[in-house]
Chain A
Amino acid sequence: AQSVTQPDIHITVSEGASLELRCNYSYGATPYLFWYVQSPGQGLQLLLKYFSGDTLVQGIKGFEAEFKRSQSSFNLRKPSVHWSDAAEYFCAVGTGNQFYFGTGTSLTVIP
């Protein structure tokens, strides 16, 4: 069965520090992978996606993610976090006709 694991429920980083959010998936075939961000009171917005090709994908707001097949991972990174990045981040796998979401990682940014 397909599943997505985000092992970190909550992360706190200082503004300007680097960020890495972890995501592991379980899926038999080549997955379609996504990262979404949810600001308070808002819906989910797509940050980036991986379908095939270059395993390092660039997204909006300075985010990037790297697909590592050997580790079944799709970690999200940002070299320098801004206070406006504080939000909930969701990793998702697209398979067949559905999207499977992780439980999310809440990011707090401190000055």
Chain B
Amino acid sequence: DAGVIQSPRHEVTEMGQEVTLRCKPISGHDYLFWYRQTMMRGLELLIYFNNNVPIDDSGMPEDRFSAKMPNASFSTLKIQPSEPRDSAVYFCASSFGTANTEAFFGQGTRLTVV
């Protein structure tokens, strides 16, 4: 397996624009996590899915953020409209089973909102 695949690796967008980040988890994994990493706040869990169903989205900062997982092999994180303070590295991770197994991380998407 190629691991968790995220696209794009880098995204630069203007304030107010819609941004969509994509993630392909490892085949067979039933948990998918979206994290945001900033210097100020470190790694923050935004939302996670189990078997394509959102379980906990309490980390999603605002209604401008939304995440979907239409099938077991694809998830998106959308920001609409984007703001400069959304600039961060966004990681997707997947795991098989609950938190007694390791999470495999993608390489992240570096988002810059200007």
Chain B 96-112 interface 0/1 with A at a Cβ cutoff of 8 Å (1 = within) = 00111111111110000
Chain A residue at minimum C-beta to C-beta distance from B107: A43
- Contact A43/B102 with A97-B48, A98-B45, A98-B48 known, Cβ cut-off 8 Å: no
| Chain B residues within 8 Å of A36, by CB | 105
B42 near A32 (CB under 8 angstroms)?
A: no
Is the pair B42, A102 in contact by a Cβ cutoff of 8 Å? yes
A51 at interface, CB cutoff 8 A: yes
Beyond A96-B99, A97-B99, A98-B99, is A42–B107 a contact (Cβ under 8 Å)? yes
Q: Are A97 and B43 neighbours in the complex by a CB distance under 8 Å?
A: no
Measured CB to CB, the residues of A under 8 A from B are 32, 34, 36, 41-46, 49, 51, 90, 94-104
| B: contact size bracket | 20 to 34
State the main secondary structure of chain A at its contact with B.
strand
Once the chains bind, are A51 and B102 in contact (CB under 8 Å)? no
A28 to B26, CA, bound (A): 31
Give the complex CA separation of A77 and B45 in angstroms.
27
Question: How far apart are the CA atoms of A86 and B98 in the complex, in Å?
Answer: 30
Which residues 52-74 of B sit at the A interface, judged by CB distance below 8 A?
A: 55-56
19 contacts between A and B (CB under 8 A): A34-B102, A41-B107, A42-B107, A43-B4, A43-B91, A43-B93, A43-B106, A44-B93, A44-B105, A46-B103, A46-B104, A51-B100, A97-B56, A98-B48, A98-B99, A99-B45, A99-B103, A101-B35, A101-B43
